[in-house]
Amino acid sequence: MKIFKNKLSITMIFASALLIQACTTPSNKSGYDPVIEAKVDSVLSLMTLDEKIGQLTLYTSDMDQTGAFLRPEYKEDIRAGEVGAIFNAYGAEYTRELQEMAVNETRLGIPLLFGYDVVHGHRTIFPMPLAEASSWDLDMMEETARVAAREATAEGLHWTFAPMVDVSREPRWGRIVEGSGEDPYLGALIGAAKVRGFQGDDLRDLHTMAATAKHFAAYGAAKAGRDYHTTDMSDRELREVYLPPFKAAIDAGVVSIMTSFNDLNGVPATANEYLFRDILREEWEFKGFVVTDYTAIMELLYHGVAEDPAHASELAIKAGIDMSMQDGFYHQNLAQLVEEDRISERLINEATKNVLRIKFQLGLFDDPFRYSDVDRQKAEVMKDEHLEIAKKMAKRSVILLKNDDQTLPLSKNIQTVAVIGPMADNQRDMIGSWSAAGDWSKSVSLLEGLKNKLPDVNFVYAKGAETTGDDRSGFREALRIARNADAIILAIGENYWMSGEAASKVDISLPGVQEELALEIEKLGKPTIAVLMNGRPLTINTLDEKMDAILEAWYLGTTTGDALADILFGDYNPSGKLPVTFPAHLGQVPIHYDMKNTGRPMDPNQKYTSKYIDAPNEPLYVFGYGLSYTTFDYGALSLSSTTMTQSDSIDVSIEVRNTGKYAGEEVVQLYIQDKVGSVTRPVKELKGFEKIHLESGETKVVVFTITNDDLKFYRKNMTYGSEAGEFVVYVGGNSRDVQSMEFELLE
Ligand code: BGC
């Protein structure tokens, strides 16, 4: 009865609030929906301080574990109205059960928000983000997020902790696999595409979910590539390299932002007013809500900026952090802080409104169970259409790094192929880390994919070696089958747990004795193809020298084997390009294409220039690099004008011709260099690209338009804008092999 009365009173307050709002609200200038704002205010007015704090508290269920600490009492917390959101709980039935506790057993019946790391698929697992980024196919990346949202929402989820938009130039850092690579421009476009995919046009739509851009900010710059480590950088580098993907996600409408674990210039992100109040809320006018990363408020104690839990909570709420994930610090300390007048209740009201707003936007107050639907779950998860999309994305995510003498594609008439290596008959690693509710036993291994595709070819398998350790006892069998084969496919790399969170490495060469195995096999003189599966750029100079062909497959998800079989046997022509530089030596790290020239640019014949004495400056594979089974010829570059003003533009055109015998796709890339600036400028920066399909012999003209926006940067006084002067425009199929022309931006 009590519950019924409260529900009724909420409804009545809504009705009167709406009435007042309809009569008095002026036009909506803030970007908020006035109808929802009125509802939020009316719910807030009913809430006690403890109930508000409950909305700012997020706990994990014990269904999955993504951090060190669990809280066994989370169900009691729900019943007590002391938790507003739950993560790591999914499934139509389980989410309904928990939602019933919140709706039926608490005083106000405010529905829970269910979050989860739906990073690259929910049940149907797509390629890891770094792999998808290799496709340079924004529409497909949007599509896979859309499908992930369809499956996740059918299992009761409302909110994903994705996309991860941390730029990283640090291959030692395991989380590089979760992002889109080293480039802020590409990263920004991908971040926005992912947000559109997850959130769609309307959050109320049952198939869309709230997205989270994470981790704010500069997490990808952890010193020495060690996870959670300090970052310290200029405001210029922060804004030029690390922030653009967050801004793009916000412009695309992302509704939540997650803090990062690192400290930035001495202030941990989770207590960083500059990041959250000044940049996020003031400058960017972000209207959504901010959640911490796992126990990040508690970690303020270890960072050494908070004396005790109350102090840590005070720092976080003052910095503008709305919801605490898992440490319970808000739950345990905020009320006391208000009582002691250390913080104003206004701060708590603000944060609570930010959380309630999203619940309204998702339609949870209308029907808290609308996402927990067993029939929809059955119909949606892993349906054929989703698996087809996964396979398409997987194929597009593979990069051909080497292909001497057209070793690939293999002929379908080949008789015997030796399939060797620890990644060959392997299902678990295929779905990578952060594989949500993905079931690895449903993933297609390379070996299975090959056998399914070509039952008449004799595929013989030997593991040869593990990924780790120095056991060489499998070499003999591997060599035996290789000796009798017409070609050898070597599936080698890193296990899924060697990248991802808390998986930094000091050595980024192929682990274990895999390289040794590859070299032994290569000595047989048979066509040898390395298929790499790994979560970071690796130092693979020797493989590059010795293998006939190399495919970078990263972790391709549920349909790995099917996708790779199509590529290896020529039913799909690889079209991926590297979103991250492959160093030749670990000592070159950080190495990225958009370096500065320095005052002593590299000259191999001059001692006192910027270089190494024991290795070249050049990486093994440059950013944007990737081959095809066909070849593309670039015609001459032409500009519509060699001068422009801030208000006009220049068209850059180039003819691209497919000169090989296969149809294929090419990512035509445009880079710009500002020759002289008030501050030093990178040697080139990606400013456009287009992925085009060309039949054999076909020619297409690609036209890019350069506008003043492409020439802007943070000038000496930190204002954002362009400077008149000379620029170089480069176009090509990667960041090194380009043609160039110059133009001038007039005053
Ligand atoms: C990770 C986040 C993730 C969270 C919840 C943390 O350890 O850093 O990226 O969203 O756990 O699973």
Task: Dump pLDDT digits (tens) for 463-507.
Answer: 999 999 999 999 999 999 999 999 999 999 999 999 999 999 999
- Predicted confidence at residue 9, as pLDDT, reads 42
- Predicted confidence at residue 5, as pLDDT, reads 34
Phi, psi of 200 (to 5 degrees): 55, -155
- Predicted confidence at residue 65, as pLDDT, reads 87
Angle between helix axes 184-199 and 244-251 (nearest 10 degrees) is 30
Q: Read off the pLDDT of each residue in 361-374 and give the average, rounded to a whole number.
A: 97
- Predicted confidence at residue 13, as pLDDT, reads 44
Residue to mutate, 65, 293, 433, 499, ligand 1, most ligand atoms under 8 Å from C-beta: 293
Residue 18 has pLDDT above 60, yes or no: no
- Express each pLDDT in 34-46 by its tens digit: 999 999 999 999 9
- Express each pLDDT in 90-128 by its tens digit: 999 999 999 999 999 999 999 999 999 999 999 999 999
**What is the 323 CA–ligand 1 centroid distance (Å)?**
14
Comparing CA positions, the residue from 497, 397, 523, 390 lying closest to residue 129 is 397
Residue 30 has pLDDT above 80, yes or no: no
**What is the percent of the chain with per-residue pLDDT over 70, rounded to a whole number?**
96
**What is the 258 CA–ligand 1 centroid distance (Å)?**
9
User: Residue with the nearest Cα to atom 12 of ligand 1?
Assistant: 66
Per the residue annotation, which of 166, 183, 263, 293 is the catalytic one? Answer: 293
Summary count for the chain: helices (H), strands (E): 22, 27
- Spell out the alpha helix ranges (H) of 201-243: 235-237
- Quote the CA–CA distance of 646 and 708 in Å, as a whole number: 5
Phi, psi of 446 (to 5 degrees): -60, -45
Q: Which atom of ligand 1 is nearest to the CA of 67?
A: 7
**What is the 540 CA–ligand 1 centroid distance (Å)?**
30
Q: Residue 295: what residue type?
A: T
**What is the percent of the chain with per-residue pLDDT over 90, rounded to a whole number?**
94
Peptide bond preceding 592: is omega within 30 degrees of 0, i.e. cis? no
- Express each pLDDT in 156-195 by its tens digit: 999 999 999 999 999 999 999 999 999 999 999 999 999 9
- Quote the CA–CA distance of 723 and 679 in Å, as a whole number: 11
Domains of the chain and any CATH numbers: 1-115+344-382 (no CATH), 384-584 (3.40.50.1700), 632-745 (2.60.40.10)
- Beta-carbon count within 10 A of 375 CB: 9
- Express each pLDDT in 134-156 by its tens digit: 999 999 999 999 999 999 999 99
- Express each pLDDT in 323-349 by its tens digit: 999 999 999 999 999 999 999 999 999
Q: Considering the entire predicted model, what is its pTM?
A: 0.96
DSSP class of residue 413 equals T
Lowest mean pLDDT among 2-16, 194-208, 433-447, 681-695: 2-16
User: Checking DSSP bridges between strand 664-674 and strand 685-694, what pairing results, if any?
Assistant: antiparallel
- Quote the CA–CA distance of 264 and 120 in Å, as a whole number: 28
Mean pLDDT of the chain: 95
Most distant CA pair in the chain, distance:
87
Residue 583 has pLDDT above 70, yes or no: yes
Comparing CA positions, the residue from 344, 332, 258 lying closest to residue 298 is 332
Beta strands across the sheet bearing 416-420: 399-403, 549-552, 528-533, 487-493, 416-420, 458-462
- Residue 375 pLDDT level (bands cut at 50, 70, 90): very high
Instruction: Report CA Rg, the chain.
Output: 27
Residue 2 has pLDDT above 50, yes or no: no
Sign of CA dihedral 72, 309, 313, 65: negative
User: Residue with the nearest Cα to atom 10 of ligand 1?
Assistant: 161
Q: Which atom of ligand 1 is nearest to the CA of 162?
A: 10
Q: What distance lies between CA 342 and its chain's CA centroid?
A: 38
Residue 512 has pLDDT above 70, yes or no: yes
Q: Which atom of ligand 1 is nearest to the CA of 178?
A: 9
- Predicted confidence at residue 31, as pLDDT, reads 56
Q: Tell me whether residue 293 is one of the annotated catalytic residues.
A: yes
Give the contacts of 411 (CB within 8 A, at least 6 positions apart). Answer: 569
Q: Which atom of ligand 1 is nearest to the CA of 161?
A: 10
Q: Which atom of ligand 1 is nearest to the CA of 164?
A: 9
- Quote the CA–CA distance of 136 and 542 in Å, as a whole number: 28
- Predicted confidence at residue 19, as pLDDT, reads 37
User: Checking DSSP bridges between strand 113-116 and strand 85-87, what pairing results, if any?
Assistant: parallel
**What is the 294 CA–ligand 1 centroid distance (Å)?**
6
Comparing CA positions, the residue from 504, 518, 431 lying closest to residue 467 is 518
User: Checking DSSP bridges between strand 643-644 and strand 738-745, what pairing results, if any?
Assistant: parallel
- Quote the CA–CA distance of 723 and 637 in Å, as a whole number: 24
**What is the 66 CA–ligand 1 centroid distance (Å)?**
6
Residue to mutate, 228, 501, 504, ligand 1, most ligand atoms under 8 Å from C-beta: 501
- Predicted confidence at residue 24, as pLDDT, reads 36
Q: Read off the pLDDT of each residue in 77-94 and give the average, rounded to a whole number.
A: 97
Lowest mean pLDDT among 24-28, 337-341, 455-459, 507-511: 24-28
Which residues lie with the beta carbon below 6 Å from any ligand 1 atom?
66-67, 117, 161, 214, 293-294, 501
- Residue 29 pLDDT level (bands cut at 50, 70, 90): very low
**What is the 375 CA–ligand 1 centroid distance (Å)?**
30
